[in-house]
Each structure stands twice: as C-alpha cells, then as structure tokens.
Structure 1
Amino acid sequence: MDKQTAENILARYRAGNCTEAEQQLVESWILHGVTSPLDLNDAQLLEDLLDIRLRLERNLHAQHPTKTYRLRKWLPYVAAALIALAVGALVIGDQWSITGDQWSAINDADIAPGGNRATLTLADGRTIDLSEAQGSIIIGDRITYADGSLVLSSGSGEQPPKTNHDESRLLTLTTPQGGTYQITLPDGTKVWLNAASTLKYPSRFDRKERIVELEGEAYFDVSEQWSAADSRSANKKIPFLVKTKEQTVEVLGTQFNIMAYADEVETKTTLVEGKVKVSDFTLKPGQQATLRGTAIDIQVADIQSVVAWKEGYFVFNGTELRDAMRQLSRWYKVEVIYEGNIPRTPFFGKISRDDTLVEVLDILKAGKVNFRIEQREKINRVVVMP
C-alpha cells in the first residue's frame, strides 16, 4: 500500500464515510502503533482485524454510549499521527484487501472429513491425481495401486508412468489439507502420509543409503533389508535417512512417526519399534525426540495419541486447544482464528476422523469453548470463542 492510498483511507475515515473494511484497517494500525512497515506482519493483522470489529460491535451495544463515543472521537487523530510517521508501505495480504469482502456465518452447515486424496508428481513434471477409492500406491517397475491396477496419468492417451532400473528419478507424493495416502517405496518400506504433507523419494534407491525428504507428518515402517542387484551387496543393511527442514533421522529397520509441519515450532520424532538416531541421540522404543531450534529433548512418548491419525482417530491426552485445532485445520481444510480470551483447558478423548467437523466441535465444547463456522467464497474457517 503506498502513502497516497493510506492518506486517502485516513481522510475517508476522518470524514466518517469509509467502508467497514477501511475502518478496521485504520484501527488495526492504531492497535499496533504502526510507525514502519516492519511493525506489523500479516498474521497479526488478520487476527486483530476480527478482534477489533467484534470489540467495536460490543461497544455499540454497551450500557455506556458516552464513553464509546469519546473513544471513537479521538481515534482518527491518533491514526493521523501514526500515518504521518509511517513510510507508507504497509503490505496487506490479498486475503484481507480493502474491497469490502466479508466472512459470513454458515447456518446449519457442516464440513465433511478428509479422505484418500493425493497427487503424484513425476520427474518430468507431470502431476497425477491419485484415486480416492484406492488410497495406496506401490513403486516398482511400474507405479501401481495396491490392487495391481496401473496408476494412469491424467492426460488422455498418455502412457502409464513407470520407473527405470538404470536411472533413479525423484518423485513427489503430496497430500492436501483433508487428504492422506499410503505408499510402498522401491525397497518395500511403507509410508503413511498425513494431511498437508509432502514426501520426496527416488524411483530407485542406490546401494549405499536410502534417502527421502519429508515436510509435514508421516508414519514409516522401514524395510530391514534392501538387496542390491550386485551379489556382493546382497542382503546388506543399508541406512534409511529421513530428511526434514530441521533434522535428519537415521534408521536401520524400524517403525516411527515424524511430525515436521512448517506451521509447528517443534519437530517431533517418535519411535514405535526398532532404533533411530536423531542428531547425536539414539531413541529407544516408546521415546520421542522434540527438536525446537537447536535444542533437543528426549521424553517418554504417548504412542497412542501420536499414531492415532494413522488409525483414523484424533486422540487428545491433555492436548492444548491450539494444538488440537491445528490438527482439525489440516484434516477438515479450514482456517482457524481465536476471538477473546480462550481458556487453556486441556482436552482428553478419542474422536473418529470420519466424523464431520460439527460433530467434532460439539465434543470439544465440553472444554468450555464455543465455535462458529464462517465462509467466504470457497474458504471455510472456524472462529474459536470463550
């Protein structure tokens, strides 16, 4: 936003003929004491615009209208002082432009749970929408579904994708919000990919090590052995490495879960069976390594809640509300915002991921919180309220 645009908005605000969205924008500047473009980020703005609007609506119906009037009377002058100090280049996300777009509550509506949804990106850049009816693919000489049928490309008349024994190519399996999928890698390792996750892997592993890259969350059942074509290397145990943005996990043969979402401040590696090495620490079954920045913490894991997603459940065992809502956001493909002072109530329980969003939220209301589902165009979001 340039300086002239900001001044025009301020002039309309002072004259009392600005739009509701412009009013919210100006008052968000006041709330943050904006004096430079770096003082306000998109995340703060998106959340505070709603808080301001709701506060003002409550003020209009308060029992002391005189006090509210005085507050409103001096707001434009404070805003003018702040804008004069600003260099005039606030960046406002497209999602909250000043076009007057509004969110509206959805009455008697519900949001269905996620399902088997994923795309496979081939080395040549082709992207294939995988079958929702199948839910699993196998990487071999050909890429097939679990029932043996070929994974066909989306373009009419194109040949089924295949791998090549002589040349390894990088493939990418991606699940959207509201999607999960299973894959069997060339060495027989099975991977369950949770919602909003990406797994990059080669069409053929080499003879020295097996490397995959993960963003998001996945459960691994790693094949103990991988027999190379060269008899001298046959039956040799080859390390299996899982790389995330923050760490590399080394495996020899095991079952474990890694959660490494970009919107989480921690990366968690949970060992179910076998042995894995995270940084300089070797985990035992039932342990969890939590990486936060450069610090790593080893604790006893709550295995049931960690791997519940793979079995089709949400399991909350003292889970904080915001942690639970991030899980729901990924599975039901909704945005989540918070209004007012939300109690820090821990949640306990086991809920099927086949339940609709409203059914899940009705259960969570026992934690002394309320919810409202809103929609703008094709985007759904949940407002969490006291």
Structure 2
Amino acid sequence: MNQDELQHLLSKYNSQTATPEEKRVVEEWYEHVNGNEPDAGNSDLFAVKNKIHKKIQRGIKKKRNHTKLKLKSFYINLFRAAVLILALLGGTYLYLKQSDSGASTKVSLSKEKPIKPGGNNAVLLLADGSQVILNEAVDGQVVDQPGVKITKTKSGELVYRFIGKSNLEEAQFNTVTTPRGGQYHLILVDGTGVWLNAGSSIKFPTVFSGASRKVEVTGEVYFEVSKNKSKPFIVNTDQSEIKVLGTHFNINAYPDEDYQRTTLLEGSIEISKGREKQLLSPGQQASISKSSDVIKLKEIDDVEAVVAWKNGYFQFEKADLQSVMRQISRWYDTEVSYNGQIPVKEYNGKLPRNAEVKKLIEMLSYTGIHCKVERNQITVNPK
C-alpha cells in the first residue's frame, strides 16, 4: 500500500466511513502491539499514534532479548505507520483568505471534554410512531413495512426497495432526521439518492403510488433524483416547491439562515414560491428570502463547493463570519458566542470536517478568527 492509498484509508477511518475490512487494516497496529480490540469509533487518530508509539517503546524493552531481528523489523514498520499518521494529521491545512490579512494568531483551549466532529448519525421515524436509531442498528433488514424492504448496508446507508404491491389504501410516511453533529445517506424506493447534512430531515412515502413523487425537507439536503418523465419529483420546504424530472441539486433551507438557497448541478428544476416561478439551469442558484416571494438567480462559479459538505469538507465562498460559524456549530454540535463587535469580512477556503476542534480553532486563527473553547462552547473573540 502506497502513501496515497494509506492517506485515503486513514481519511475514511477518521470520517467513520471505512468498511469493517478497512477499519481492521488500521486497527491491526493496535492488535499486534496491545493484544486488544481498539475502540472502532475512535476518530482521534492523533491519540492512536501516541498509543502506538508508547506500546512500541514498551514492547521493544520487554522483548529486547527475544528474536531481535524479527522484532526490530516489525516495530520499525509500526513506528513508520505511526509517524505517517502524525504527518497526515499534521499536514491537514486550511487556507482561508480574507480581505485584510496579517492578523496575529491566538488560540485558547480549556481542558474541558473535547468537542468532536460529527459522523453518520440519524433516526428513522416510522409511520406508526416507532423509531430506529440508524447508527446503532445492525446491518441488514431494519424493519418490515408493506410493499418495501428497508435495509442498512455495510457502508451505513439506508436503502428502500420495492418488493410488491401494498395492501394499504394510503401510503405510509417515514422520516429520517439527522441531529446536530450528524449526517446520513439514504436511497428512496425509486432509486433517488438523498444526503442529509447536520440538523436536517426528509419526510417521504415508502412507496410513490400517486402521479408524482413528493417529499418534504428541512435543513440541508442534496438530491440525485432518479429520472421518471411520467412521475415528476417534487420537494417541498417551508419556503418553496421544487419540481424536477431527474437531476442533481442541493437545498439549504435551515430556519436560522436568512435565505433558502437551491443550487442546480445537473439537469433542470423549476422552483416556485407563491406566484413566482423560476427555471434553473446547471450552475445557477436560486435565493428566496423569508420575507419575500421574489426568487433571485445567480451564477455559481464552483457548484462543487456548495456540496463540499457531502464530500467531507466545509468550503466557504465569500462567506461572512456568522455563516462560517453556523456551519461549524451544526457539525460539531456546539454553541457559538461572540465577544465584542462581529467583524464585517469575507472568508474563502476549505476545511476538513473530520478535524478535531483544537486543529479547527488553530486553522481558523490563521485568518483572524480567534476562538477559545470552554464548557462545550466556542467563543469568537475580536482579536
């Protein structure tokens, strides 16, 4: 395995998207040195490196007089792996650019319980009111519902498959909700892929039996809609209705945002609010204010930046400070407060969503966003 492959593997392990086999490859460093199964959910690979290093040192002293040649080769390889982990983590870097640079770096961290980045975490609410905590459910069939088979795959996604006609006169509705600090991927019965960001939800029928495929969403959701010209796909939010036949698009409809933003990556969509309607082309974004029915369109230079969250990153494009911190607050499930006046600046850049909060604060400080962490809260200071 070369360095690029190992870097990709460690990235998957750290974001909790690695398969059991991939986790085993990473964790066998523990198994050889410690003889015990490590915590598979541990995303703090920096701590992993330190533990490996300490175990190596103790192992070398304890077994110095036994099979020296084999042990030397074995421990050298383990130490190289540990060093590589440290290098990969230490090399994670955020480049953020602001209009006035040159600010000094100040980082203050208390010794409170560390704030962790989010991961795959969601709840499935069934039509009868019962709930399934998806991150705790075992792989395989999750629950029985008429006409569909609902399974959780090894990669952690929820899949609906049509298996026959339902005897119910009305469709059953399910809801998948992610908490703050959670995300999830599911595939609806028509093959449409849905990605939920933190603090989001989708309500949908288990079987699309009518003339259209209607769902309701809150928060931020990315869709890859399965094409069906005879049955349009319709997404309802508290601000708008979006009609598609088959396309890729992202909706940001958090209640604490001033605007609902819908961005089209592929295909075409029609968005409406009241009597206002707009047809979007790929690369366009529609913005709707809560206080107005006007739909404003603009061209987006980099649409992939809009869905960076789905691929494991925060990506900011001319974002103000409060917008940056709201995204961080949702993903790290922590409150954000401000000391003093909030600066009026624009921020651009890319930040890995699997970074521990200490690294996160350090990277933000390069831009003049100075923070401290205490009592599970991030406080932004003016300087």
TM (normalized to structure 1)? 0.62
Write the distance in 1 (CA, Å) between the matches of 2:360 and 2:235. Answer: 33
Write the distance in 2 (CA, Å) between the matches of 1:133 and 1:178. Answer: 18
Displacement, 1:116? Answer: 0.3
Corresponding residue to 1:117 among 98, 121, 129: 121
CA contact (8 A) 2:115 2:334 kept: no
**2:355 counterpart of 1:355:** yes
Secondary structure (helix, strand or coil) at the match of 1:384 reads: strand
> Counterpart of 1:284 in structure 2: which amino acid?
S
**2:210 counterpart of 1:190:** no
**2:349 counterpart of 1:367:** no
The 1:278/1:106 distance shift into structure 2, 3 A limit, reads same
CA contact (8 A) 1:171 1:201 kept: yes
Please name the residue that 2:12 is paired with.
none
Write the distance in 2 (CA, Å) between the matches of 1:143 and 1:291. Answer: 35
Displacement, 1:360? Answer: 1.5
Write the distance in 2 (CA, Å) between the matches of 1:203 and 1:363. Answer: 43
CA contact (8 A) 1:122 1:172 kept: yes
Write the distance in 1 (CA, Å) between the matches of 2:174 and 2:284. Answer: 31
Structure 1's consecutive aligned runs of 4 or more residues displaced over 3 angstroms after TM superposition are 132-140, 147-151
Please name the residue that 2:284 is paired with.
287
Identify the range of structure 1 (163-172 vs 326-335) with the bigger mean alpha-carbon deviation.
Answer: 163-172
Secondary structure (helix, strand or coil) at the match of 2:326 reads: helix
The 1:181/1:134 distance shift into structure 2, 3 A limit, reads farther
Write the distance in 2 (CA, Å) between the matches of 1:333 and 1:201. Answer: 26
Secondary structure (helix, strand or coil) at the match of 2:148 reads: coil
Displacement, 1:133? Answer: 8.7
The 1:136/1:316 distance shift into structure 2, 3 A limit, reads farther
CA contact (8 A) 1:115 1:132 kept: no
Write the distance in 1 (CA, Å) between the matches of 2:309 and 2:327. Answer: 9
Write the distance in 1 (CA, Å) between the matches of 2:139 and 2:197. Answer: 12
The 1:382/1:147 distance shift into structure 2, 3 A limit, reads closer
Corresponding residue to 2:234 among 209, 222, 241: 241
Displacement, 1:370? Answer: 1.2
TM (normalized to structure 2)? 0.63
Please name the residue that 2:381 is paired with.
385
CA contact (8 A) 1:315 1:348 kept: yes
Write the distance in 2 (CA, Å) between the matches of 1:361 and 1:344. Answer: 19
> Counterpart of 1:287 in structure 2: which amino acid?
Q
CA contact (8 A) 1:267 1:291 kept: yes
The 5 Å alignment of 1:62-101 reads none
Corresponding residue to 1:209 among 212, 216, 227: 212
Q: Where does structure 1 lack aligned partners over 5 or more consecutive residues?
A: 1-104, 152-161, 226-235
Displacement, 1:368? Answer: 1.6
Please name the residue that 2:86 is paired with.
none
Please name the residue that 2:295 is paired with.
296
> Counterpart of 2:327 in structure 1: which amino acid?
Q
> Counterpart of 1:359 in structure 2: which amino acid?
K
The 5 Å alignment of 1:13-92 reads none
Q: Where does structure 2 lack aligned partners over 5 or more consecutive residues?
A: 1-108
Write the distance in 1 (CA, Å) between the matches of 2:366 and 2:223. Answer: 34
Deviations 1:137-187 (A, max 9, x none): 999721101349998xxxxxxxxxx99723310100000000000110111
Write the distance in 2 (CA, Å) between the matches of 1:209 and 1:320. Answer: 39
Corresponding residue to 1:106 among 106, 110, 130: 110
The 5 Å alignment of 1:133-282 reads 141-147=148-154, 165-167=166-168, 168-225=171-228, 236-279=229-272, 280-282=277-279
> Counterpart of 1:212 in structure 2: which amino acid?
V
The 1:187/1:253 distance shift into structure 2, 3 A limit, reads same
- Identity across matched positions, percent: 41
Displacement, 1:274? Answer: 0.2
Aligned-residue Cα RMSD (Å) equals 2.7
Aligned length: 258
Displacement, 1:358? Answer: 2.2
Write the distance in 1 (CA, Å) between the matches of 2:350 and 2:157. Answer: 37
